[in-house]
Structure formats: C-alpha cells, structure tokens
Homo-oligomer: A and B are copies of this chain.
Amino acid sequence: MPDPAPSPRTRARRLNYKAAYDRPTIDAILDAMPVAHVGHIVDGFPVVTPTLHWREGDRIYWHGSSASRMQKRATGEQVCVTVTLTDGMVLARSGLEHSVNYRSVMVFGRAEVVEGPEAKAAHLKTMMEQMFPGRWDQLRPITAQELKATRILSLPLTEASAKISAGPPLDPPEDVTWPVWAGVLPIRLTMGTPEPAPDLAPGIAVPDHATDYRIG
C-alpha cells in the first residue's frame, strides 16, 4: 500500500493510527472550527497567531490587516496552519495514559496573497455567507479603502493531514482493574444567547443567521 501522506512533512510520525489524509475528514474539521493557529517564521523565530480561517473547495483562506507584520511576512513564505477542536479529557488508570480527545488538521505550504479588489470582496462575501447565510447583502457595503486595507492569504490543501483522537481510555489489560474511575469528560463549544449591541437601533430582531450559528 502506498504511503497515503501527500508529503514527508505531512506524514504523522507519532500515533500514526490517529492520522488521516482523506479530504472529507480534513474538510469536516476545517469547516467545524473557524479559529486557526498560523505559524510563521519571523526574524528566525516561530510566531503562532490565532486567526479566523475559512475553506473554499481545495483551499483555505485567512485575512488580516495589510499593515500587519504577520500578514506581510507570511506572503510567499512557508506557513503552517493548524486547526484544533478539543473534544474531551481522557482519564485513564495511570498518569501517562491520560490524554485528550481532539480533532486537528495541519496544512503546510507557501502562503499566497489574493490580488485585486473584486477577488478580495468575493472571498470575504463567501466567508461571511458560510458563517452567517444572507448577512453580507444586509451589511453596509464594503468600501474600496477597506478592501485595500485587507490582505487575504491562502493555502492549497495539497499538504494537509488530520489527526483524530476519540473514544475511551486505552489502558493496558493489567491496569484495567485498578480501582480508580476512568472515562471521558466531554468538552463542547456551545453558543450562548445572542447579545444585541448596546447601540442597536430599536425594532431589529435577532436574525436566524445569528441564532442558527454553531461551531465545533
């Protein structure tokens, strides 16, 4: 069977039974969690920045200010975008069998910048529509100056891998009878009640795209 990893650096070295390289698995994790951690190299040291990301087909995108040091440096440079969902704490019978249930994706590559105001506006609209369907067309329209001040970066999903840890603790047989509770403490991302802005004009109801929003 050929190595399913798309590149050497993408291949999981440790716990490789938890690794997956198929796009449905990768896409499901990326689409469930909009917060990514982007790793850059700045002046020779690593910098990890949390940022929103979104997927369009075979690529992921993220955006920030054109003036941002991270955004400038990332253009054309090697980056690693990692998306992680924490699903539970796994309590085993011995200390080092304790673990975390999680779903994560790592994407490697050289960040590419989206050029041109029309393309940038189209990507921002797609991002918004994925998160809050119908909202973009209700907003105060985006301006040329706002587009100019926004940089959108992108990475193909050619060098992506997923890692999933799920299920109960896997203590070795000789530990299973140890008299301590073992199991999983599930962790979920939940949405609270929408909080209207204090300066919201009267008579504007909470829209479905706000009450329907879910992550995780």
Does A116 belong to the interface (CB within 8 Å)?
no
Q: How many copies does the complex hold?
A: 2
A contacts with B, residue count (CB < 8 A): 96
Does A21 belong to the interface (CB within 8 Å)?
no
Does A144 belong to the interface (CB within 8 Å)?
no
Does A183 belong to the interface (CB within 8 Å)?
yes
0/1 string, A39-53, CB within 8 A of B gives 1: 111111111111010
Does A204 belong to the interface (CB within 8 Å)?
yes
Interface centre among A42, A102, A177, A184 (most CB of B within 10 A): A184
Interface residues of A in 104-137 (CB under 8 A from B): 104, 106, 108, 124-125, 128, 131-132, 135-136
A179 touches B191 (CB 8 A): no
Contact of A94 among B39, B140, B177 (CB under 8 A): B140
Q: Which 10 A-B pairs have the closest CB atoms?
A: A186-B192, A39-B46, A39-B48, A37-B37, A48-B82, A45-B78, A50-B84, A182-B197, A183-B196, A39-B39
**Can you pick out 16 interface pairs between chain A and chain B where the beta carbons lie within 8 Å of each other?**
A14-B68, A35-B84, A37-B48, A37-B84, A39-B80, A45-B80, A46-B46, A48-B81, A88-B192, A89-B131, A98-B128, A135-B180, A181-B207, A186-B191, A187-B192, A189-B190
B78 touches A140 (CB 8 A): no
